[in-house]
């Protein structure tokens, strides 16, 4: 029998081998457990099914599923419990501004700073965009419910009109439709976003068409605040060989739905697109857009929770004009400032 001193006298290589022999089975067991019990896994597994014939049922089922469910609050809870709360300190955020991606980021930063300082918060408000000048994001003021917790009613018509096999209970339905964020509206043009390589209309649409076809998808749901740009994209895709079909919330909604949509602000309408694109089979977005990055990184977290091991930033060194690609989502264009700034403040 070895004595403790005998073991201690063994060469370093022996101790390293012993350590690896002990830890490797533990690591493999832990990995396989997490692979089959991901943080984001829902309680019930659902097999793919035909779209529900009852529109209300389909929409209810779709809205009941969230990509990152159940949310694991342990890390945030630990962080909050380390904070010394000051009952006399109250923070207020009165200048969240921009589109849904920027406003979401502003509010998440606000919450983080409040937790860090141990402060209570007032419900945030935000600046609202001018309908007459989309680049003017400071035109007026809006309350918290202007952007959050709004109902929408679109995905069921995408399934039925295109005869797509979309299971509303699947977080990301496979082989159903491609989601594209076409960021070529007037405000993007006005600030020069489309003057750089791999950023204009042709570059974005070429990339989305190629990406969709590489995944065997021929139906593209496009998000854009410009009806003219959507029409250009639809015409281009239809004349492509092979042809693709481009749809949008405007082409899918019935007359009453369109009237309800028109009653929303420009940024509120983007929330409809946000929910649909978040659940697309494959997604393509634009590098200068926090909206695109919010979607791509939430989807990446969903994949990570299911054991996918992907390095989405490798594409920066492997392809021209691509900033992010994890197999579920691809962000096209290059912009060092946005690439570094936006993901750092992201929260899936």
**Which domains can be identified in the chain, with CATH numbers?**
55-146 (no CATH), 178-345 (3.40.50)
Q: Which helix (H) or strand (E) covers residue 202, if one does?
A: helix 201-214
Residues in Cβ contact with 211 at an 8 Å cutoff, skipping those fewer than 6 apart? 178, 282, 284, 330
Q: Which helix (H) or strand (E) holds 329?
A: strand 329-332
d(CA 196, CA 78): 44
Half-sphere exposure of 125 (CA within 13 A, CB side): 9
Question: How far, in Å, CA of 146 to CA of 30, rounded?
Answer: 43
The Cα-based distances of 205 to 188, 208, 220 in angstroms read: 15, 5, 11
Q: Is the pLDDT of residue 43 over 50?
A: no
Would you say residue 124 has pLDDT above 70? yes
- Rounded Cα distance, 121 and 110, in Å: 9
With tokens 């029409």, the residue in question is 231
Give the separation between CA 251 and CA 262, rounded to whole angstroms.
13
Highest-scoring range by mean pLDDT, 95-104, 111-120, 277-286: 277-286
Mean pLDDT, to the nearest integer, of 97-123?
83
When pLDDT is cut at 50, 70 and 90, the band that residue 326 belongs to is very high
More confident residue, 281 or 2: 281
d(CA 335, CA 288): 7
Tell me the pTM.
0.63
**What confidence category does residue 40 fall into, taking pLDDT thresholds of 50, 70 and 90?**
very low
**For position 150, what pLDDT does the model report?**
34
Beta bridge partners of 221: 179, 247
pLDDT for res 229: 95
| pLDDT of 269 above 80 | yes
Query: Does residue 45 have a pLDDT over 50?
Result: no
Percent of the chain with pLDDT over 70: 80
Q: Which pLDDT band, with edges at 50, 70 and 90, does 81 fall under?
A: confident
Backbone angles phi, psi at 43, to 5 degrees: -65, -40
Residue-level length of the chain: 348
């Amino acid at each position: 029998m070895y004595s403790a001193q005998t073991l201690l006298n063994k060469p370093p290589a022996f101790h390293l081998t012993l350590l690896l022999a002990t830890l490797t089975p533990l690591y493999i067991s832990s990995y396989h457990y997490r692979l089959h019990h991901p943080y984001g896994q829902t309680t019930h597994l659902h097999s793919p099914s035909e779209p529900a014939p009852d529109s209300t049922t389909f929409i209810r089922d779709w809205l009941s599923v969230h990509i990152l469910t159940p949310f694991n609050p342990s890390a945030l809870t630990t962080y909050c419990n380390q904070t010394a709360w000051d009952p006399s300190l109250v923070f207020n955020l009165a200048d969240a501004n921009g589109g849904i991606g920027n406003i979401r980021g502003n509010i998440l930063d606000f919450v983080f700073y409040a937790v860090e300082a141990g402060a209570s918060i007032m419900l945030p408000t935000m600046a609202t965009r001018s309908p007459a000048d989309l680049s003017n994001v400071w035109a007026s003021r809006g309350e918290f419910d202007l952007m959050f917790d709004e109902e929408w009613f679109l995905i069921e018509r995408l399934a039925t009109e295109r005869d797509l096999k979309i299971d509303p209970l699947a977080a990301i339905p496979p082989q159903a439709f491609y989601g594209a964020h076409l960021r070529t509206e007037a405000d993007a043009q006005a600030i020069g976003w489309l003057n750089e390589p791999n950023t204009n209309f042709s570059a974005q649409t070429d990339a989305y068409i190629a990406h969709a076809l590489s995944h065997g998808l021929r139906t593209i749901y496009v998000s854009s605040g410009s009806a003219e740009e959507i029409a250009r994209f639809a015409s281009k895709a239809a004349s492509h060989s092979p042809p693709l079909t481009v749809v949008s919330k405007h082409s899918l909604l019935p007359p009453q739905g369109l009237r309800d949509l028109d009653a929303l602000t420009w940024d509120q309408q983007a929330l409809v697109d946000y929910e649909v694109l978040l659940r697309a089979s494959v997604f393509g977005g634009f590098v200068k857009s926090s909206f695109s990055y919010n979607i791509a990184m939430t989807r990446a977290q969903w994949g990570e929770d299911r054991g996918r091991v992907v390095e989405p930033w490798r594409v920066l060194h492997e392809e021209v004009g691509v900033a992010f690609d994890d197999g579920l989502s691809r962000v096209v264009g290059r912009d060092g400032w946005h690439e570094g700034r936006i993901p750092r403040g992201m929260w899936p």
